[in-house]
Structure 1
Amino acid sequence: MDSDSKGHRFESCRVRQTSYLFAARALRDFGDGFVTILLPVYLLALGFSPLQVGVLATASLLGSALLTIAVGILGVRHDLRRLLLAAACLMVATGTAMSVVTDYALLLVVACAGTVNPSAGSVSIFVPLEHAVLAREVGDADRTRMFARYSLVGALASTLGALAAALPDARAFVGLGQLTAIKLMFVLYAIVGVAGALLYSRIPTRLPNREAPEAATALGPSRAIVLKLAALFSLDAFAGGFVVQSLLALWLFERFDLSLSEVGVFFFWTGVLSAFSFPIAAWLSRRIGLINTMVFTHIPSSIALMLAAFAPTLPLVLILLMIRAALSQMDVPTRSSYVMAVVTEAERAAAASFTSVPRSLAAAASPALAGALFATSFRAWPLLICGTLKIVYDLLLLLQFRHHKPPEER
């Protein structure tokens, strides 16, 4: 077989593997898209308070952090495919449990040990594993574009999930009560997990090189930079936890008395704006760099969020939140690409995990605080705190890493 044929077969195999990951990401974010919106509605329908909603969101993010720590440790010496399959099975169990459990204490256990995601940012054990698999399939020149496509697929699927959140409002057409309809949506979430497992099973087994020096520990030569990034990302995530999508939906429900269908449609359009910002972020990063793209799109989005807290009318609030949606996620593919670029290949799974863990831990603390502020009628404060802390994060990131260039920018 000549070299051209071998190269063609290798490229075809790479495309298939990334396609399976893209499809799995789309299914998972579709499920997260409707669960994010339905979760507070479900809990309120069961008779729980806004504070209890915030505490459960915190439990979910905290559990995700602990699971991701385990993934980071296991990913150094174990096949990423097996870990992805295990995560998909956990998603199936989570959806099944959420559809039958109504006791608050048990719901806390399910939230902490499962994959229920109260955040539009898809803080989950899947993400670092998928990042490591994707990064090994592309070169430096194509890495950011690959992550932009990966993020685009997920965001578009999430917008469809947001629209699907309106299905329980159509219960009159099928004779179901809202509570029963929401429980069936959690069953659908479990079915999505089954489909994701089937896609992950198509990824070839690839054991890490246990003889490599970096394989002896989770992080090797890049430890210092990963720890600095993890600290900064944790500040960003702590800020974002004040306005996770479930709590933003709750804010819209309580301040403007919007219906479930109206909120679902709104989050659909914000998701569309976020999705199509990802290719723009990849294009922009090739011209001004990854760090500059992250910072100079993030700051205006935070300002828009803070202005929304004081906006007197619903149309103005929605316009400001849409401006935020169009800008706030442009750091997602660029951040993922940057982390993968500044560590060695052997460290990528661990780096993706260890930069995600502090994010999850930090994000786990703030929803409960936001819920407490909502419960005491300080409804604007979560938005203001989120915007202020995110601007501080952006300035620190620019100061610390503006001279630390990825390979394609040197």
Structure 2
Amino acid sequence: MLLPASAAPEARLLLLGRGLRAFTDGFVAILLPVYLLALGLGKWEVGLISSATLLGSALATLAVGHWGHRFTQRRLLLAAAGLMTATGLLLAGLGGMDGIGAFWPLLIVAFVGTMNPSSGDVSVFLPLEHARLAASAQGEARTFLFARYTFVGACCAALGSLATAFPEVLTTAGVSQLDALRLMFVAYGLAGVAIFFLYRALPDSSGQDQAGPPAALGPSRGVVIKLAALFSVDAFAGGLIVNTLLALWLFERFELSLAAAGQFFFWAGLLSAASQLAAPWVARHIGLINTMVFTHIPSSVCLILAAFAESLPTALALLFVRSALSQMDVPTRSAFVMAVVTPQERAAAASFTAVPRSLAAAASPAIGGALFDAGWLATPLVACGLLKIAYDLMLWRTFRRSEAASREGKHDQGAL
């Protein structure tokens, strides 16, 4: 599906920026627990710091939704890139402190910064990029554009997971493990610099200006509240087993090596990327809501079964099947939200549906970490799967009648 010629350059810049962020997120999510454990912190502290990252992202996204319309989206994107640079450099610098002394500074940096411990994008970049992408295409073409956006992110995150082997290469060359891990966070910060200069090429205004300037939520408030409430259930469940904690589970349950974990997340990421690219074609035949629900439920069943797997090959096979299905709802969900609100409300709607996701997910990594610390390794996976199935059923029951509007990609409050 081709984009309008005027929108293509801007879309390419946004896709490049998303890819670079995803690449760094791919290795940070896996290396974070290793880094924190190397500093002398425990599993519970790993969960707390993961929670802090999600809570800080939620509040930043909320601020963008409430006050962001007062500034150009380009300026906000540049500020987010600067924050990403500071996050990486500060995390690397704090590695020189002892574990007890580093915990509170690390917690603050995690809360304020842009670090992402999950498989999806939970940063303040998300609503800003979504709003500009939504203005680049209409109807079915918008769904394909969001699929391309998530596909690029998933592929680059998969490649980033392979970079987790780099610290081991440095270690064999004589660099200490801690210093090798710190260098990876320096690389994360330098990626923020690259994104800053990339987004400087964006125009101050987008095609969205033709439909009016961005505005706070108005006519679409009721729909957004319903979606936000449901998305929060899904996000809380996902937070119980974010990539950082899934890596920790593999380390603890099967004593998986760091290099092997990187290879697993690479192939899992490629499966997720392929499924996201296929999502628009599936949605064309069965609709956005049905695509979101009927691919999500089997993936949750696989996660529950993986929790009780006796061998590593069985667990990995189930997790691979989960990866091939669990992310098909990402582009369809984004397209659905953009389709059922007015163009002027898109940035606010993206923020206010993303915020509850981040807020709900903020508490669950700490709970998951505490359960791991108590030795209940299967509980977070089972709870995640059951809660996600409940979310899917509630979503289908609430919005299945709006499928005509979502297929056409039109703003149709009456259908909801």
Q: TM-score range by the shorter chain?
A: over 0.9
- Between the aligned partners of 2:273 and 2:312, the Cα distance in structure 1 is 24
RMSD: 1.7
Q: Does 1:330 align with 2:323?
A: no
Q: CA deviation at 1:74?
A: 2.6
Q: Are the counterparts in 1 of residues 214 and 347 from structure 2 also a CA contact under 8 Å?
A: no
Deviation by residue 1:90-121 (Cα, 9 ceiling, x = unmatched): 00000000001141100000000001111111
Amino acid at match of 1:17: E
Match of residue 205 from structure 2: 206
Q: Are the counterparts in 2 of residues 58 and 364 from structure 1 also a CA contact under 8 Å?
A: yes
Q: CA deviation at 1:73?
A: 1.7
- Between the aligned partners of 1:241 and 1:55, the Cα distance in structure 2 is 12
Amino acid at match of 1:397: L
Q: Does 1:222 align with 2:220?
A: yes
Flag the 1:214–1:117 CA change in 2: closer, same or farther, 3 A: closer
**Equivalent position to 1:372, from 370, 373, 394:** 370
**Equivalent position to 1:238, from 236, 239, 249:** 236
Q: Are the counterparts in 2 of residues 373 and 382 from structure 1 also a CA contact under 8 Å?
A: yes
**Equivalent position to 2:63, from 59, 65, 70:** 70
Q: Are the counterparts in 2 of residues 159 and 268 from structure 1 also a CA contact under 8 Å?
A: yes
Q: CA deviation at 1:173?
A: 4.5
Q: Are the counterparts in 2 of residues 342 and 406 from structure 1 also a CA contact under 8 Å?
A: no
- Between the aligned partners of 2:239 and 2:366, the Cα distance in structure 1 is 9
Compare 200-209 and 77-86 and name the one that shifted more: 200-209
Match of residue 414 from structure 2: none
TM-score by length of 1: 0.95
Match of residue 91 from structure 1: 84
Flag the 1:213–1:18 CA change in 2: closer, same or farther, 3 A: closer
Spell out the pairing of 1:116-265 with structure 2 (5 A cutoff). Answer: 116-206=115-205, 215=215, 218-265=216-263
- Between the aligned partners of 2:123 and 2:322, the Cα distance in structure 1 is 23
Amino acid at match of 1:275: A
**Equivalent position to 1:16, from 4, 9, 25:** 9
Match of residue 278 from structure 1: 276
Flag the 1:210–1:70 CA change in 2: closer, same or farther, 3 A: farther
Flag the 1:356–1:379 CA change in 2: closer, same or farther, 3 A: same
Query: Which secondary structure does the structure 1 equivalent of 2:41 belong to?
Result: coil
Match of residue 348 from structure 1: 346
Q: Are the counterparts in 1 of residues 13 and 199 from structure 2 also a CA contact under 8 Å?
A: yes
Amino acid at match of 1:32: D
Q: CA deviation at 1:178?
A: 1.1
Q: Are the counterparts in 1 of residues 211 and 343 from structure 2 also a CA contact under 8 Å?
A: no
- Between the aligned partners of 1:245 and 1:105, the Cα distance in structure 2 is 22
**Equivalent position to 1:390, from 373, 384, 388:** 388
- Between the aligned partners of 1:166 and 1:105, the Cα distance in structure 2 is 28
**Equivalent position to 2:33, from 10, 32, 40:** 40
Match of residue 108 from structure 1: 107
Q: Are the counterparts in 1 of residues 287 and 406 from structure 2 also a CA contact under 8 Å?
A: no
- Percent of aligned pairs sharing the same letter: 57
Q: Which runs of 5+ in 2 are unaligned?
A: 409-416
Q: Are the counterparts in 2 of residues 162 and 265 from structure 1 also a CA contact under 8 Å?
A: yes
How many residues in Structure 1 have an aligned counterpart in Structure 2? 400
